[in-house]
Structure 1
């Protein structure tokens, strides 16, 4: 007698005993044999068929009454079994993809990491939080030999793995630039050609690129369609939009970019961000840029890193801890 015949005999005995006695101990036996069915990968329709045979053995005289309804149940279980198998296959595939994305996200985080450089007289704070596992935002710092610092912040118009791959390409393109410093407009023009030649035509990248010279206090910058940042002038005691214009990367390989300049004095502050900040929502409506300024004002007495942390937590709570887009905020202020 093979194991299936043994299970069928056991099931029939348990069913007969329960029908006769209504004894719950028979139900415990059913639980035990159910586990055996699972281990042996017995399909639902096989169990129903086993139940039909057991019932017919117990009530042979009721065959005509039992069989039609049981055959109906059997057909339903066959369809259920096929659907359940398909569901399990899809679930396993989904888990496999999720695992691969987790690995890719860890690799991206490692490849895209950038250290905040120590620049005399400059206090820098950064926070970058992906809405999903893969980050479509990018920020990068490079400290030059002369003590100046280059700052890049970018955003892919798109989400998920394609956006993350595009950002990785941008990172490596920037790493390939010569050590000698180029103007911010030249950097964007070079990146624009890389994106136009290598990225899907339906995907675009915005970027703000700046270079700060500690000796002069000058900030040179260019923008490729990126979300305008803010400049806080301590002398004027007000926030001003950093209104730099330029076409997003990847549209036209012959695009040129302009370069602008700001002079930073003591306690002046520059705020750079992605649209994941400006597109936060309150009561189903996008916040205004003035709302961001008001939140920053509350924490201006803190260090730059504490400011970006507090601003992020504010808007995270505002959206019930459910980010709809990648959130990146960079703040640096002149402290001497």
Structure 2
């Protein structure tokens, strides 16, 4: 998903403790700064940015912090402008169902929604515009809007400047860990598919597909790698990133992202075959699925070797064996239905060949 670093699905307790401590520090520091500054007696908006901005990818905090700050400014400005022309809500107007109070609320709501979607970025609207607009509307006190702006700015600045300095993660290590996790799960998935095909059972287990997250993991790891490469321009104190990534990591991540698409297509075609054939085992006369099992195993072995970064000669030998099995299956089962089923594996072989060509 855009905006995140590839990490194991369940971070270890030590990583969770670091994240919790980082969040607590980045929430407490702006709170006490605002108390010392005297912005308000309860500067909760100063502590909220740490909760809403900090993620596993702490180096993405500047972008999220800027989006939040702009959203706060726009939301406060919209509500201030509306309340300048329309009466602010009061206890008596709300209890008496005043049309003026309802009108001002609807105007603030409409302006906040419009601003939220006009500032659409990164695949999502800037919800902070509407949140700030409604908070200022509900707390129409003298000086509150200015205090909220100041406290939000202090909280965002603390998160952006201090957050990445507290136990900063290594983006390259995170990307490599995500790749290893993906490789292990992919090997298990293809091994299970080959076992079911060889045993003559349904190509895929019954029930909905549970591998959607698996196919997204390579793209997430590649995005983390690319963000880490762009951040090498930051000061060394601010970014704990090696001077150069591990050898071949980028090529393996790109290879994983490409083959995830082809293998997802293959497993989806198997799922469609299982759906059309029904829950029962394939007919005895339908040997195409049973004879597909060695090809799946050979392809899985080839992809696993390439993802491990093994010697090019060994990967090429595995690829030749997989291609030979592909040709044999094509000769034995030349029907269009079987060709569609093999297409995902064939495209995977082509991706392996291109990967070897890039490695030289």
TM-score scaled by length of structure 2: 0.20
Higher helix share: 2
Higher strand share: 1
Structure with the greater alpha carbon radius of gyration: 1
